[in-house]
């Protein structure tokens, strides 16, 4: 018996927003077991996630950025914020606040052989720039910020401000980034504010994609692989 996706999403609208994020986390956890960082696994992961994003994209949302130029600038600002502490303060991440048994330690999830593989680095970049912004913005800004206001979140317009929803989302977003929780928190605040300012998931996805794209370029150019956790 096939699954009636339209019926499932109508009865449980949160599924469309949560499923891509859930699949992303599952594949992240099973990456080594399923060899998803191999020459065939890297594109397979991207194709799986891309398919899930397309199938789950809520029809009520427009992917068109409301403020494309400004979103690009904000994305560039976030990139600068992300790398600034490590550039300005040598040994910054060795502080126990950012390296301990609870939040983990700075490391790269890339295998040593991937560091010299243009093929694998290309797919990792595609994942960071195209997949992650869609997955995370659907979950954090389009769903959680509204669901925390009301369980019937679809009646809450995008970008509606609630102090509790705003800060819970920002804090959880920060926790997702482990040893980079500090810049993750600042980033979460900026991303939340941009959703409130633009009321546009498309603008948030573009902003997030620019941040990740610049960071990916910086990682590859400078060999600062630890930013790819």
- pLDDT tens profile 118-164: 999 999 999 999 999 999 999 999 999 999 999 999 999 999 999 99
Higher pLDDT, 132 or 108: 132
What would the DSSP string read from start to end of 33-53?
TTTTTSTTHHHHHHHHHHHHH
pTM recorded for the entire structure: 0.95
- The SS3 call for residue 123 is helix
User: Which residues 6+ apart lie within 8 Å of 215 measured at CB?
Assistant: 79, 82, 83, 128, 227
CA distances from 193 to 23, 73, 159, 174 (A): 27, 14, 8, 15
Cα–Cα distance measured from residue 221 to residue 48, given in angstroms and rounded to the nearest whole number: 28
Structure tokens belonging to residue 1: 């018996």
- pLDDT tens profile 58-100: 999 999 999 999 999 999 999 999 999 999 999 999 999 999 9
Structure tokens belonging to residue 120: 């694998």
Q: Which helix (H) or strand (E) holds 207?
A: helix 201-222
Q: Which helix (H) or strand (E) holds 191?
A: helix 181-198
So what's the pLDDT on residue 160? 98
| Crossing angle of helices 118-126 and 201-222, rounded to 10° | 160
Q: What is the dihedral of CA 143, 144, 145, 151, to 10 degrees?
A: 80
Confidence of residue 226 (pLDDT cuts 50, 70, 90): very high
Cα–Cα distance measured from residue 122 to residue 147, given in angstroms and rounded to the nearest whole number: 35
First to last CA, the chain: 39
42 has a pLDDT exceeding 70: yes
Beta bridge partners of 104: 100
2 has a pLDDT exceeding 80: no
Nearest Cα neighbor of 153 from 52, 51, 61 is 61
């Amino acid at each position: 018996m096939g699954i009636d996706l339209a019926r499932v999403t109508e009865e449980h609208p949160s599924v469309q927003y949560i499923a891509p994020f859930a699949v992303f986390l599952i594949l992240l956890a099973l990456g080594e077991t399923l060899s998803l960082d191999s020459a065939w696994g890297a594109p397979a992961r991207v194709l799986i996630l891309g398919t899930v994003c397309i199938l789950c994209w809520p029809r009520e949302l427009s992917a068109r950025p409301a403020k494309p130029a400004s979103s690009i600038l904000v994305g560039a600002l976030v990139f600068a914020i992300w790398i600034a502490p490590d550039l300005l303060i040598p040994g910054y991440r060795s502080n126990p606040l950012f390296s301990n048994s609870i939040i983990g330690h700075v490391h790269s999830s890339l295998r040593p052989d991937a560091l010299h593989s243009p093929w694998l680095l290309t797919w990792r970049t595609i994942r960071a720039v195209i997949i992650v912004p869609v997955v995370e913005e659907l979950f954090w800004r389009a769903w959680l910020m509204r669901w925390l206001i009301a369980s019937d979140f679809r009646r809450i317009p995008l970008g509606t401000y609630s102090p509790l929803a705003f800060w819970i989302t920002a804090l959880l977003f920060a926790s997702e980034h482990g040893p980079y929780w500090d810049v993750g928190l600042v980033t979460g605040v900026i991303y939340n504010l941009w959703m409130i300012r633009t009321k546009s998931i498309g603008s948030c996805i573009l902003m997030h994609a620019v941040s990740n794209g610049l960071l990916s370029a910086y990682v590859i150019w400078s060999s600062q692989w630890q930013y790819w956790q």
